[in-house]
């Protein structure tokens, strides 16, 4: 069964304190792995797609990496506005439709 | 350049009533997906539709729930005879036709359904 597990569930950091969020996945043939950001009361906002192991993508203070079993979202020198829930999701080659989401990591950045 | 639009944003229903949630995909997108997010839980896939066709409804409860995406107009998620357990945020996402895989999905702001 396709599955996505994110850790930690919650993470509190001081502004400027870099860290990483983990996403472990089990999928029968990975078609793509996605990272989304979700603010309270809003829909998920697309961040990155990773296609294959070894791939990396960057956007401002965020960098996503992918191996055959997990993905990391690295946050460098975060600011309070980076506070949100970060969602990891996978799409299997066998499915042309559904995305399987993890439960997310709630990130809080203290000024 | 409007994104995915959903309405209403908040919906309150009493047990036994019907709930209708609407979703207009991004311009140029013809694939629509519905997800449900229960409090403190992740997003769960419900159904995938293209114009006038249901492609995958494997995540949809067998009873009381239905979805459509007509040739003209928005996609509708319909919940009949709502129960308290249906209270959740319902999100719609869309992707363009003929997108190279994987298909990135863009989400709307959600409809928050409260069943009294």
**Residue in A31, A46, A104 nearest the CB of B42:** A104
Buried b (16+ CB within 10 A) or exposed e, A74-96: ebeebeeebbbbbbbbbbbeebe
- Cβ within 8 Å, pair A99-B45: yes
- Cβ within 8 Å, pair B103-A96: yes
Residue with the bigger pLDDT between B95 and A65: it is A65
Average pLDDT, chain A: 94
The pLDDT of B93-104, averaged and rounded, is 72
Task: Locate the chain A residue with the closest alpha carbon to B31.
Answer: A97
Query: What confidence score (pLDDT) does residue B36 get?
Result: 97
Cα separation values, A58 from A55, A69, A70, A77, B65, Å: 10, 20, 17, 14, 40
Residues B76 and B94: beta-carbon distance below 8 Å? no
Residues A4 and A88: beta-carbon distance below 8 Å? yes
B-chain residues near A101 (CB < 8 A): 35, 42-44
pLDDT one-digit tens code per residue, A27-79: 888 889 999 999 998 999 999 999 899 999 999 999 999 999 999 999 999 99
Query: What confidence score (pLDDT) does residue A93 get?
Result: 82
In three-state secondary structure terms, B29 is strand
The pLDDT of A88-92, averaged and rounded, is 92
Cα separation values, A67 from A53, A61, A104, B56, B81, Å: 4, 20, 19, 29, 45
Q: How far apart are CA A88 and CA A90, in angstroms?
A: 7
Closest CA to B96 of B51, B35, B30, B52: B30
The two three-digit tokens of residue A27, written as one number: 């999928």
Assess whether the previous peptide bond of B8 is cis (omega < 30° from 0).
Answer: yes
The two three-digit tokens of residue B96, written as one number: 């363009």
Query: What confidence score (pLDDT) does residue A79 get?
Result: 97
- Cβ within 8 Å, pair A45-B45: no
Count CB neighbours of A66 within 10 A: 23
For tokens 């296609």, the residue is A51
Q: How far apart are CA B35 and CA B48, in angstroms?
A: 9
Residues B47 and B67: beta-carbon distance below 8 Å? yes
Between the two ends of chain A, the Cα-to-Cα distance in Å is 41
Query: What confidence score (pLDDT) does residue B101 get?
Result: 55
> CA of A32, closest CA in chain B: separation in Å?
5
């Amino acid at each position: 069964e396709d599955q996505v597990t994110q850790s930690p569930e919650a993470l509190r950091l001081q502004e400027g304190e870099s860290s990483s969020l983990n996403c472990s996945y089990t999928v029968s043939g990975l078609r793509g792995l996605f990272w989304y950001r979700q603010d309270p009361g809003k829909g998920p906002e697309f961040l990155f797609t990773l296609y294959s192991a070894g791939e990396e993508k960057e956007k401002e203070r965020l960098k996503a990496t992918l191996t055959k079993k997990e993905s990391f979202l690295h946050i460098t020198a975060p600011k309070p506005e980076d506070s949100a829930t970060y969602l990891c999701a996978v799409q299997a080659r066998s499915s042309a439709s559904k995305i399987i989401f993890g439960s997310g990591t709630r990130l809080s950045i203290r000024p | 350049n409007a994104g995915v639009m959903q309405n209403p944003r908040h919906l309150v229903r009493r047990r036994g009533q019907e709930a209708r949630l609407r979703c207009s995909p991004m311009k140029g997108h013809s694939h629509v997906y519905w997800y449900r997010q229960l409090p403190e839980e992740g997003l769960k896939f419900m159904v995938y539709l293209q114009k006038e066709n249901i492609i995958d409804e494997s995540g949809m409860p067998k009873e009381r729930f239905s979805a459509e995406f007509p040739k003209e107009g928005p996609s509708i998620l319909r919940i009949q005879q709502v129960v308290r357990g249906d209270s959740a945020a319902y999100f719609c996402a869309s992707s363009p036709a003929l997108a190279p895989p994987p298909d990135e999905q863009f989400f709307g702001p959600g409809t928050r359904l409260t069943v009294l």
